[in-house]
């Protein structure tokens, strides 16, 4: 490995005969597979040599505190400028941590956060018993950690928490920043699940979970939050440029808009998921834990093929879409979300939601406008239940107007004779519900 990045005989001999040469070569090989340039690899090789000298590698494991101390000692001996030392220390700590983690010799720091053991036990239970995905577990931790930190300061133990304490916590949060009803509802759901588990483990008083009230969230109370299909077409036209960013972003936007894929489904799409001979694309539905097959449309296939041939860097990752700068790695949810948000901002649109999921809403709304049934749309989006798709029925103005204009006088019978002769097509309650839905939806949309 050293022969591929070092050219001077003196440097090559020094690195070969230096301490932990094989371990340093393994790390450099990993960085080269990620797509690091040769000048960058030379700098990291020299940095690794100093790490092997400064770090206490004679110990079974090295702590982050020891890494930071070695970085300060090394930088102080080289430069006096404080800003330069800070940059050198940051780079030292970053690569030393990754190197030791790769070798399995990085000692995990003992968490100082309160109730860490209880939170980890709850998340493990949710993953094993309820099958929650990693993203859902991260969401639970995001909502529970602020409460547990607050409880450690004000209540001290889970056993002493009362319903009044939980009310005080939400009052304190409301004073910090106003929460929407949906945000409060999500936090309440996470707290309820946690305290039900805590009750089963005898960590808290019984029945605490049932005392936490959430604001009422009406089913289908909101409209789908996607841009108009004409705006989606503008978005695709604007992104169809020749720059590397345009080529990559255009392919991802097509997958989001045409197939209605989720952000994770686009980011986890692998090279082997596209069957070019059969013109089929395999989409792994992470929420349903299944694979769905779609025909590979010509324009989508051309966009992906152009990205693979002209823009995608060579790297060891099998994901289709990777970063454009080194180190090359699969895209994160934040990266894809920022890309879609910036593209929509450039169009000057005012939307309630600017993320990738907004294009999924636009796809479903467009299919409904094209007279596809809710069942067809559910299959296209990968919904297991039609209940997840029913919200899009509120956007079908033509169908709602037809329901509102129905003559229902024949369905209402006022005499017993007519009730025996004719059976209503719909129960009377269903007719009233349809009229109510049509009036509410049309009044809010027209």
Tell me which residues are annotated as active site.
Answer: 262, 287, 357, 360, 383, 392
CA distance 294 to 248: 21
Q: What is the largest CA-CA distance in the chain?
A: 108
Which DSSP state fits 271? G
Closest CA to 398 of 427, 426, 359, 365: 365
H or E stretch covering 67: helix 64-76
Q: Is 67 exposed, middle or buried (0-12, 13-18, 19+ CB in 10 A)?
A: buried
CB atoms within 10 A of CB 39: 9
CA distance 245 to 113: 41
Q: Are 47 and 91 within 8 A, CB to CB?
A: yes
> Exposure string (b/e) for 223-255, b if CB count within 10 Å is 16 or more?
bbebbebebbeebbeebeeeeeebbbbbbbbbb
Q: Is 288 helix (H, G, I), strand (E, B) or coil?
A: coil
Q: How many CA atoms lie within 13 A of 221 on its CB side?
A: 6
Residue identified by tokens 């045409």 is 258
CA distance 65 to 62: 8
Q: Is 144 helix (H, G, I), strand (E, B) or coil?
A: helix
Which positions ≥6 away from 216 have C-beta within 8 Å?
181
Residue identified by tokens 């709602």 is 400
Which DSSP state fits 305? H
Which DSSP state fits 394? G
CA distance 389 to 146: 33
What is the full DSSP assignment across 196-235?
Answer: HHHHHTT-S-TT-GGG-------TT-S------HHHHHHH
């Amino acid at each position: 490995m050293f022969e591929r990045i070092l050219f001077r005989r003196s440097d090559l001999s020094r690195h070969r005969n230096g301490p932990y040469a094989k371990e340093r070569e393994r790390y450099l090989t990993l960085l080269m597979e990620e797509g690091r340039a040769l000048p960058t690899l030379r700098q990291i090789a020299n940095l690794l040599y100093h790490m092997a000298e400064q770090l206490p590698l004679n110990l079974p494991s090295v702590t982050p505190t020891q890494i930071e101390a070695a970085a300060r000692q090394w930088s102080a001996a080289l430069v006096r400028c404080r800003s330069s030392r800070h940059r050198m220390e940051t780079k030292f700590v970053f690569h030393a941590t990754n190197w030791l983690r790769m070798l399995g010799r990085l000692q995990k720091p003992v968490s100082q956060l309160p109730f860490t053991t209880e939170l980890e036990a709850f998340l493990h239970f949710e993953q094993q018993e309820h099958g929650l995905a990693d993203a859902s577990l991260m969401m639970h931790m995001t909502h529970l950690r602020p409460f547990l930190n607050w409880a450690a300061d004000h209540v001290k133990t889970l056993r002493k928490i009362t319903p009044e304490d939980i009310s005080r916590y939400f009052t304190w949060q409301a004073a910090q920043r106003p929460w929407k009803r949906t945000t409060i509802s999500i936090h309440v759901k996470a707290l309820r699940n946690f305290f039900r588990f805590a009750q089963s483990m005898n960590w808290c008083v019984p029945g605490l979970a049932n005392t936490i009230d959430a604001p009422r969230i009406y089913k289908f109370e909101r409209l789908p939050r996607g841009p108009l299909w004409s705006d989606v077409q503008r978005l695709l036209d604007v992104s169809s440029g020749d720059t590397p960013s345009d080529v990559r972003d255009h392919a991802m936007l097509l997958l989001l808009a045409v197939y209605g894929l989720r952000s994770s489904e686009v980011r986890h799409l692998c090279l082997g998921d596209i069957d070019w001979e059969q013109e089929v694309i395999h989409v792994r539905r992470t929420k349903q834990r299944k694979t769905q097959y779609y025909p590979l449309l010509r324009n989508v296939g051309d966009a992906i093929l152009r990205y693979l041939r002209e823009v995608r860097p060579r790297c060891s990752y099998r994901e289709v879409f990777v970063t454009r700068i080194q180190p090359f790695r699969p895209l994160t949810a934040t990266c894809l979300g920022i890309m879609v948000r910036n593209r929509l901002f450039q169009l000057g649109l005012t939307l309630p939601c600017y993320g990738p999921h907004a294009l999924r809403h636009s796809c479903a709304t467009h299919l409904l406008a094209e007279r596809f049934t809710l069942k067809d749309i559910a299959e296209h989006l990968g919904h297991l239940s039609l209940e997840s798709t029913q919200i899009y029925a509120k956007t079908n103005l033509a169908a709602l107007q037809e329901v509102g204009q129905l003559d229902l006088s024949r369905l209402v019978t006022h005499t017993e004779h007519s009730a025996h002769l004719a059976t209503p097509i719909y129960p009377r309650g269903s007719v009233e519900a349809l009229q109510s839905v049509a009036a509410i939806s049309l009044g809010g949309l027209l």
